[in-house]
């Protein structure tokens, strides 16, 4: 048992703690989100970040070579929640690239060296999710989970499916009838996950799977969405790799698309910890970019002025917005299907990250997303639409003068260009191949490994039957 790591409620008025071997996605006392925290005094903390460089020469060799090979676990001293290194489930995730994007920067009026793109689409399943999934699967293995599940706009399901296959666990993914791109759906099916399409959007799917995983423990389903605090521990490594690629110097800005707000939350935690440990001098500023068709964070942050306020943020503001959405029967709608989310579960942690990193929030239209995605493809090496939002948002912030022309900006490209080729083809040709909104099979599939998706009503009994519970 790891005695230096524990789970803690993020609500400062509560701060209840839980053991690292407990399976929780919220506080039992006040229902707030949980953090994974460490008693650093009991742990071997590196004296400076260059310590990690010795792992470049040991990757793939010796007992820990498989960990040194991973872009997440070569920083394992920064996420030491596991009991033993044997617990760690890795598929070689996080070997991604920070590109100095001078050609694209020139188009946007930036000086050479000032625009950098962090290509998280180069992960094994093609998105940043693998950084978090390796950590959550490690925890799932520690607690003996056999079944894992998530709701997803596509990338989480692809990542869960590949890790479940490697870890020999049963993977169940819930996708909604919003949009899912063919690239992502094909991965979940190929990697063998039970794929269930519920008649409802992402937010409805997440509510269902959360209920099934949390309130029905007898089913033994381990929840892999980013409410799972272990996911975020792995996603911190995206920031470590950016620092590594820059000789351990912080950039001025990190710009990231916001959906369920797990990624930006993880970034805030990474920098808060690095600062606390004296491993960096400067914390970069954070910009979180919503799509206009799914702009909950932007509305709350910029219209309602909602702030972290040392954890004492006003929940009624959020409840009011959500009640209004219900009343209007509002459903998010954006070409960036990955971030088509209107009730981001990590909202409080995102507010905290915005506080830690002196952050800003913006929204960008679908047209801005499409144009900037195409620019990344033309002058970089491509990304999916949601990732284009980060470049579009950065452009907007530069035109507003919030990001200075002399500042160094890292835009996170969260998913691979080939995740959503339909959007690309439509952009260039006008031909709309559609994303998958109804995947009830039109004819019986007959491949030896055909993994038929299951379409069900948004009804608990029907869903449990589909899972085989
Ligand atoms: N970019 C891509 C490509 C994504 O797939 C997601 C989230 C985000 C950005 C937003 O990240 O949720 O941490 O704010 N996709 C999830 C999914 C929700 O189900 O694949 P976030």
- pLDDT of amino acid 452: 86
- Tell me if 351 is assigned to some domain: yes
Low-confidence stretches of the chain (pLDDT beneath 70): 1, 435, 437-442
pLDDT in tens, 236-254: 999 999 999 999 999 999 9
Closest-lying ligand 1 atom to the alpha carbon of residue 155: 20
- pLDDT of amino acid 62: 81
- pLDDT of amino acid 385: 97
- Tell me if 15 is assigned to some domain: no
Instruction: Give the burial string for 149-161 (b: 16+ CB within 10 Å, else e).
Output: bbbbbbbbbbbbb
Cα(184)–Cα(426) distance, integer angstroms:
18
- pLDDT of amino acid 439: 66
**Ligand 1: centre distance to CA 309 (Å):** 26
**Ligand 1: centre distance to CA 345 (Å):** 12
Task: State the pTM of this model.
Answer: 0.96
- Tell me if 260 is assigned to some domain: yes
- pLDDT of amino acid 251: 98
Q: What is the domain count for the chain?
A: 1
- Tell me if 115 is assigned to some domain: yes
- Tell me if 349 is assigned to some domain: yes
Closest-lying ligand 1 atom to the alpha carbon of residue 158: 20
**Ligand 1: centre distance to CA 156 (Å):** 7
Query: Which residues approach ligand 1 with their CB closer than 6 A?
Result: 127, 152-156, 226, 257-263, 338-339, 341, 384, 386-387, 414-415
- pLDDT of amino acid 182: 87
**Atom 12 of ligand 1 has which residue's CA nearest to it?**
260
- Cβ-in-10-Å burial (0-12, 13-18, 19+) of 229 comes to buried
Closest-lying ligand 1 atom to the alpha carbon of residue 154: 20
**Ligand 1: centre distance to CA 221 (Å):** 22
Closest-lying ligand 1 atom to the alpha carbon of residue 266: 13
- Tell me if 165 is assigned to some domain: no
**Ligand 1: centre distance to CA 44 (Å):** 33
- Tell me if 42 is assigned to some domain: no
**Ligand 1: centre distance to CA 39 (Å):** 30
- pLDDT of amino acid 292: 98
287, 339, 387: which to mutate for ligand 1, most atoms within 8 A of CB? 339
Supply the DSSP string of 411-439, one letter for each residue: EEE-B-GGG-HHHHHHHHH------BS--
- Tell me if 262 is assigned to some domain: yes
Q: Which domain holds residue 316?
A: 97-125+231-421
CATH of the domain at 243: 3.40.50.1100
The pLDDT mean for the chain works out to 95
């Amino acid at each position: 048992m790891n005695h230096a790591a524990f789970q803690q409620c993020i609500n400062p008025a509560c701060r209840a703690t839980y053991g690292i071997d407990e399976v929780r996605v919220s506080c039992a006392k006040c229902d707030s989100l949980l953090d994974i925290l460490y008693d650093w005094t009991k742990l071997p903390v590196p004296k400076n970040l260059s310590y990690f460089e010795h792992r470049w020469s040991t990757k793939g060799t010796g007992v820990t070579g498989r960990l040194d090979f991973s872009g997440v676990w070569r920083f394992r001293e920064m996420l030491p929640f596991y009991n033993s290194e044997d617990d760690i489930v890795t598929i070689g995730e996080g070997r991604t690239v920070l590109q100095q994007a001078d050609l694209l920067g020139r188009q946007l009026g930036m000086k050479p060296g000032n625009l950098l793109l962090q290509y998280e689409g180069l992960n094994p399943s093609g998105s940043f999710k693998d950084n978090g999934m390796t950590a959550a699967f490690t925890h799932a293995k520690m607690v003996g989970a056999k079944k894992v599940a998530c709701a997803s706009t596509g990338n989480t399901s692809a990542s869960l499916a590949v890790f479940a296959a490697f870890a020999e666990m049963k993977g169940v993914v819930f996708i909604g009838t919003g949009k899912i791109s063919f690239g992502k759906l094909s991965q979940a099916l190929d990697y063998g996950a039970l794929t269930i399409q519920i008649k409802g959007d992402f937010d409805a799917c997440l509510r269902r799977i959360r209920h099934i995983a949390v309130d029905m423990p007898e089913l033994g389903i381990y929840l892999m969405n980013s409410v799972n605090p272990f996911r975020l521990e792995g996603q911190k490594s995206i920031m470590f790799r950016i620092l590594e690629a820059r000789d351990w110097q912080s950039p001025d800005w990190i710009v990231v698309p916001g959906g369920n707000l797990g990624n930006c939350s993880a970034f805030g935690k990474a920098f808060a910890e690095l600062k606390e440990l004296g491993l960096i001098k400067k914390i970069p500023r954070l910009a979180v970019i919503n799509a206009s068709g799914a702009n909950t964070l932007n509305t709350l942050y910029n219209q309602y002025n909602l702030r972290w306020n040392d954890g004492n943020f006003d929940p009624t503001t959020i409840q009011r917005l959500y009640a209004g959405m219900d009343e209007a029967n509002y459903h998010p709608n954006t070409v960036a299907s990955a971030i088509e989310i209107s009730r981001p579960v990590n909202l409080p942690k995102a507010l905290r990250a915005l506080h830690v990193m002196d952050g800003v929030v913006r929204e960008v239209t679908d047209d801005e997303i499409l144009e900037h995605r195409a620019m990344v493809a033309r002058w970089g090496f491509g990304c999916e639409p949601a990732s284009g939002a980060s470049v579009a948002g950065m452009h907007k912030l530069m035109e507003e003068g919030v990001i200075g022309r002399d500042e160094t900006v890292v835009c996170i490209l969260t998913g691979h260009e080939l995740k959503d080729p339909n959007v690309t083809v439509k952009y260039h040709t006008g031909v709309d191949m559609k994303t998958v909104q109804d995947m009830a099979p039109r004819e019986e599939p007959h491949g030896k490994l055909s993994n038929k998706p299951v379409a069900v009503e948004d009804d608990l009994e029907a869903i449990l039957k589909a899972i085989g519970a």
